[in-house]
Amino acid sequence: MELVLISDTHIPSRAQRIPDAFRERIRSADHVIHAGDFDSEGALADVQDLAGELTSVAGNTDPRVGLPERVAVEFGGVTFVVTHGAGSKRDWIDRVARTVREEADEPRVGVAGHTHQVVDREHGGVRVLNPGSATGAAPADRPTMMTATPVDGDVSVTVHEA
C-alpha cells in the first residue's frame, strides 16, 4: 500500500495549482493524507477529485471547509494521527507529538504541516512527518510531498520534490 502525504497547498492565496508530477502521484496512491491548509473549498474539492481515498484535517487557513482538527487512521499496523500543528513554530514538534500520544498507542506516526518544512524525525516516542508544502508556498523554497509505505507496524518514507 502506498500513501501520499501532502500539506499546505494554500490555493489560491499563495499558489495556483498542485504540480503535475504530484497530481499524478495523488491519482495513483492507495490513500492520500492532507495535513491541512487547503486554503479554499476549491483546493479541497480538487484534492478530493484526484484522490481515490482521502483523509484530511483543517489547517489554520481552513476555517470554513468543515474538516476535523485531528483524525487517526490505521494502515499496515500503524496508526497515523493527522493534525495541522497550528501555533508557534518554536514548539511545533512538541505539540504534534503530544497530540499523537493523546490519540494513539504504538506503533504510531504523526502527520502534520504548518511549518512548510520537511520533517521525518522521532520525538518523544512518536515518528513525526511533515511533507512540507505541496505547492512550495512560502516559506518553503520548493514543492515537496512524501510517499509512505506501512507494512507490519513499520513505515518507509520517501520525500519527493517538484
Please, what is the average pLDDT of the chain? 96
Confidence of residue 40 (pLDDT cuts 50, 70, 90): very high
What CATH number has the domain bearing residue 49? 3.60.21.10
Q: Which amino acid is at 96?
A: V
Domain count, the chain: 1
For residue 142, give the 3-state DSSP assignment. coil
What is the pLDDT, as a whole number, of residue 64? 80
Confidence of residue 45 (pLDDT cuts 50, 70, 90): very high
User: What is the span of the domain harbouring residue 138?
Assistant: 3-161
Determine contact, residues 139/107, Cβ cutoff 8 Å.
no
The tens digit of pLDDT for each residue in 6-32 reads 999 999 999 999 999 999 999 999 999
Q: Which three cell numbers stand for residue 97?
A: 507529538
What is the pLDDT, as a whole number, of residue 89? 92
Q: Which of 107, 103, 110, 104 lies closest to 152 in space, CA to CA?
A: 107
